[in-house]
Amino acid sequence: SQWGEENLQALSIQEGEDVTMNCSYKTYTTVVQWYRQKSGKGPAQLILIRSNEREKRSGRLRATLDTSSQSSSLSITGTLATDTAVYFCATDRRNSNNRIFFGDGTQLVVKP
């Protein structure tokens, strides 16, 4: 899982497997965003889940949010080699001038 203070996490799986990545955040947030960064590119948003939502789906992606435990997860079903990337969660914070705060990221390698 990723957290503001933890080092980059790494996962290696075989194509076709399902994977879940976790994110814990420290303070109140109104949204959790999940981003994916492929090698040589900037991060790109995958999914946004609001604090009043418990689950959000987009294709093979499923994000969950548990505000009581201040954690979120991103699941990918039927992974492809092209899912190989670093995955970041990002949250906003109260009194942060609408800035978002990125976690340390999870490096996912999907082997063909």
Binding residues for another protein (CB under 8 A): 8, 30-31, 33, 40-45, 48, 88, 90, 92, 96-102, 104-105
User: What is the DSSP code string of 34-103?
Assistant: EEEE-TTS--EEEEEEETT-SEEEETTEEEEEETTTTEEEEEESS--GGG-EEEEEEEE-TTSTT-EEE-
- Residue number with CB closer to another protein (14 or 30): 30
- Residue number with CB closer to another protein (14 or 45): 45
In angstroms, give the least distance from the CB of 33 to another protein.
7
- Residue number with CB closer to another protein (44 or 80): 44
